[in-house]
Amino acid sequence: MRRKIQLLLLLLTGLSSLWALPAQAVVIKNLYEALVPVNTQSREERKTALTTGLIEVITRVSGKTIQLSEDPEDPIAIAIQNPTRFTRQFRYRKNKKANSRLNLWIKYDEKAVNNLLQTNNLPVWGHTRPSTLVWVVISENGRRTLLSNTEKHEVKTAMKWISNKRGLPLTFPLMDLTDRGSIGMSDIWGNFEDRVLTASQRYNPEAIIVGRLYKSTEGEWSSKWSVYQEGRRKDMNSNGERNIYVAVAPIVASTAEELAERFALVNIEEVREDVTIRVSGINGLKEFNQTIKYLQSLAAVTGVSPVMVGENYATFKMATKGGRLSVAQAIKLGHRLAEQVPAPPAGVADLAYQLVQ
């Protein structure tokens, strides 16, 4: 088996860039795109739409809520007032939900946006992002509803819409036999931490949002939210909101910003270096292929070359943006590799992981 893998090294090195991303990666494909409603195709309204879209993209890529400055020397404010410099293409599209309305689809220049952020010491959050699990129970009209991945509800629609604007992947529970056996609606409504955290383990999320929403007979929303990540809990509440988008926006935005603080890198382009990684648990061609595909998919990695194959491991050389730290952070997102314990002897590789089966 070892010999078969070695015979494929050259072929794999040349073809690795053609492989599809593994299913485990959460990849945001429209990171630098925006869809802005417009009434006309006039030049004035188009410029306004380009500005609106650029603010959305800067927020999504940096992970931070952009506060417009009135300082005429502020480079972000200057950029936002000149959106055509960052625009690659745009086209008008009919709004499928309202035939008389138009949307302006805009694609912005990735390099130009990244350069703007990096030169102003703002982070660039790559296409690969952590998943956030959402447990939400809604009380309205005398009954309670738990939102699953198949449930349709305006709260879920609003959360998905805002999360798309922020580039925050949300996962709603399956509520299959496994979920129903480990957690109930009352557990979520009561926010019983042990139950929530135990039931969440199968989804392996980076963050968990627990929401309890009540809609009054007057149509006003009250909400209680808790976010769990890295062993910490953060609570947020709101009352008297008539617009459900306004009611759910703060929790989605806050979660996105906190995850960006952990995983987005400032000036990632300044550090370019080769990093070697040793992955154990590779016992055949299937695991070898899966591993190299996964490494190639990481946002911090620009190239992968297999350099050594052992009895149950392989060592790879990676060209990276951001160096060893950026690779370690990216791997943490995917939950595909676990840090090897104990680590191999010093000098064997820069990073060492065990393949998660």
pLDDT digits (tens, 9 = 90+) for 210-246: 999 999 999 999 999 999 998 899 999 999 999 999 9
More confident residue, 356 or 186: 186
Average pLDDT score over residue span 328-333: 79
Q: Are residues 245 and 313 in the same domain?
A: no
Given a cut of 70, is residue 270 above it in pLDDT? no
CA atoms within 13 A on the CB side of 124: 24
Number of structural domains found in the chain: 3
Domain identity same for 175 and 259 = yes
> Given phi > 0 = left and psi -120 to 50 = alpha, else beta, which region is 175?
left
Q: What is the mean pLDDT of residues 174-185?
A: 96
Looking at residue 243, what is its pLDDT?
96
> Does 119 lie in the same domain as 17?
no
Q: What's the domain range around 241?
A: 132-263
Does this model's pTM top 0.85? no
Query: Whole-number mean pLDDT of the chain?
Result: 87
| pLDDT at residue 129 tops 60 | yes
Checking if the pLDDT of 20 tops 50, the result is: no
Of 124, 142, 177, the one marking the end of a domain is 124
Pair of tokens at residue 154: 């305006």
Structure tokens at 10: 């050259």
The Cα 333–Cα 204 span in angstroms is: 10
Is 41 in the same domain as 115?
A: yes
Question: In this predicted structure, what is the pLDDT of residue 268?
Answer: 52
Neighbours of 42 (CB within 10 A): 10
* Confidence (pLDDT) at 10: 37
